[in-house]
Chain A
Amino acid sequence: MNKQWLKIVSIVIVAIMIVTGCSSGNNSSGAGNEQSGGGNNSGADNKKVSITLATVNNPDMVIMEKLAPKFKEETGIEVRFTVLPENELRNKVTADVGMGAGSFDIVTLGTYEVPFWGNNQWLEPLNPYFDNMNAEESEEYDKDDLIQPVINALSYDGTVYGLPFYAESTMMFYRKDLFEAAGLTMPEKPTWDEIYDLAVQLHNPDEGIYGICMRGLPGWGQNMFIFTQMLHTFGGKWFDMDWNPQFDSPKMRETFEFYKKLLTDAGEPSPHTVGYTECLTLMSSGKAAMWMDATVSGGTLMSGDSQVKDKIGYAMAPIVEKPYSGAVGGWALSIVSTSKHKEEAFRFLTWATSKKYVEMVGEEFGWERAPSGTRVSTYENPKYKEAAPFAEITLESINNANYEEPAVDPVPYKSSGWVSIPEYQEIGDQVGQLFGAYLAGAKSLDDMLKEAQDFTTQVMKRGGYLK
């Protein structure tokens, strides 16, 4: 009796294993975005080529996913998407590519990663592919139309490793109506001192209006992103030419103090819990009079989700010593060097960053949704300029971003709100945490600076930058 029972049980288990093993072995539709029936195969024989792409769930990427079937129609290549929030995407892609797992053919990366990933040989250099384009393709794609500063930010030593899907800078958003009511005007190129004065005057927490909203949430891409831009325009820097961390410098101290003062006197409560999304919510629900952040927020602030649709004015990112302080950021598409479908991947890259693609988005989804910051021609298009009132400022900011020489003094790194070394993620994360503690009143400025200095020095030694 017992033996029979054992047999039954083991058979059941084995059966379940087989069933699930089959269903996963088939690589059936799963969660990818696929539509069957791509009729015109360009010589793809019996095996359809399918490439995998990892990306963030930003509105522009959502549109790209929606338009991907058109790519399949044209070329017969199927694109399967993995969509994740920014942090998870970065983690997953870094782990995957860093361990050589090869889950993806194309990855979406920021201007932070692309250069040194390219240098790590994790990404495929794109120059040879451009060289291989025939005259007709070259002309249609018009590589020179791509905005140069953005391409620079996606290259290492002259080799291009990514093509910009959309690019952005940082700017100051403000409430025209509140300014008018208080009899104030926003200068076109405000300084941080001017911003402080304006914010204090507009700060009215009893009525539920905060003078300014600034990111305070800890993170190398959160509070540190805004802080670093402020630091550089204040005349400070992260490292000197010998890679010594500069936390004991007066400029560093001054910047931290100013940031906190601005928030304490005129900013949102509990700033160390406020990241990009919270600021966006505050601004679009009418609770903040000013907000300094990424230019793409302009799209959301103008959209149906926003409660302050027609009340937003735009100004350049505030400065102190340098004439411009905006970042050159955004998302780019890169080919992973372990990909087995590089040619096909390159075709997708050029398709998604082409003039035709911009047209497609503009016509089908509205011109305010056209990818920003990638091509000069987009900005010469009257339809785009009309639909995106902040386009001019974005372009000017990107063109003048101090990517190669971010600080007043010479520095050994490049920057667009971060420091262009792989260790920055760790350093920025830790300093961001310390900064958050300082903002929350849980740490004094002196303690914070000392701990930041010690931690950064130790990481830089481990990384071989310091002896």
Chain B
Amino acid sequence: MEGRIAKKDPIRWLALPGIVIVALVTQIPFIATVVLSFVRWIIIRPDQGIQFVGFQNFLHVFQTKDTYVVIGNTVVIMLASLVLCTVLGTCLAIMLNRDFPGVHIVRTLIILPFFVMDAVAGIIWKTLILNPSFGFNYYISHWLGVEPIDFFGSHAIITIIMLIVWQWTPFFFLIILAGFQGIPADIVESAKVDGANAWRRLISIELPSIRNHIQVAVMLGLIFILKVFGIIYVTTTGGPGVLSSNLPFYAYRVAFNGWNVGNSAVLSVISVAITLLLIIWLYRFMNRRTGEAD
């Protein structure tokens, strides 16, 4: 142990700038949002002014049927995407965790979708690829002699999940690959010497070593995927109806079409609450499983 360090270590002050910036930039807006959720302020009606209305906004939001559909969508999208991304990302990382000519190129190709602005990626998918009138979808279906699939129709939410997984798997891939690459080579070597084959090594050594990294990827992925907005905005606009809307998109509609600052703030607060609950649960779940390892 580092016994030579005094009780109140001055080194702690080093964390302060980071803490201060993060606290200022993230907590103040959050407090403002919470305050605004108790206010009625319709921006395009300045004659109605800004009034304090207590819990009225909350009541109103919770009495709207759409709210529940949207919350459901948010959770479904998040869970499905998270599972798929983790599995896909890990598989890809395992596959590309070796050296072969051109491995760097393949890795870069895999990460590429993550580098493009999500709105642009959405437009490319919607227009050039999946469009049933002039995209690849149309021409391939024509060639196969079938009706082009309406990707953004009643099952729009599945398409959205597909696009989110496509864009976020590279994120998982990157973190998990970094984890694999961080495993000390001599540990792997000694396992080889002990006669363990590739599969055994994977199960007993490599996967356990990256537990931390998978945890990081999943936690961060959860937060980011819950906040996804750009893809939905440019492809389905949350439709049909609200079938493919998540909380951020719905909050956007309320804020910039309804100009209803109060209700939009309520939706943001709900979003934070749900995310927080899920994160806490996930954190405990993962720590319980890795309880001994640390």
Contact = CB atoms under 8 A, between A and B. Distances in A.
Given A99-B43, A268-B133, A270-B132, A94 B259 contact: yes
Interface of B: 10-11, 13-14, 17, 42-48, 126-127, 131-134, 138, 142, 148, 150-154, 235-243, 253, 256-260
A437 B238 CA distance: 11
Contact of B240 (A2, A3, A442): A442
A440 B45 contact: no
Nearest to A97: B43
Interface of A: 2-3, 6, 9-10, 13, 91, 94-95, 98-99, 116, 120, 122, 208, 210, 217-220, 268-270, 272-274, 278, 281-282, 285, 287, 422-423, 425-426, 429-430, 433-434, 436-437, 439-443, 462-464
A10 B241 CA distance: 52
B44 A287 contact: no
Contact of A269 (B13, B17, B44, B132): B132
Given A287-B133, A422-B44, A434-B241, A270 B150 contact: yes
Given A13-B17, A99-B43, A429 B240 contact: no
A443 B126 contact: no
B44 A272 contact: no
Contacts of A3: 10
Given A2-B10, A13-B17, A217 B237 contact: yes
27 contacts: A3-B10, A6-B10, A6-B13, A9-B17, A94-B44, A98-B43, A210-B133, A217-B237, A220-B257, A269-B150, A270-B150, A270-B152, A281-B134, A287-B133, A426-B257, A430-B257, A433-B239, A433-B240, A433-B242, A437-B239, A437-B240, A440-B239, A440-B240, A442-B241, A442-B243, A463-B42, A464-B48
A429 B257 contact: yes
Contact of B259 (A98, A208, A273): A98
Contacts of B13: 6
A219 B243 contact: no
A433 B259 contact: no
Given A425-B259, A437-B240, 4 more contacts: A278-B133, A287-B133, A442-B241, A464-B48
A437 B153 contact: no
Nearest to B126: A273
A426 B131 CA distance: 28
Nearest to A120: B46
Nearest to A5: B14
Contacts of A10: 17
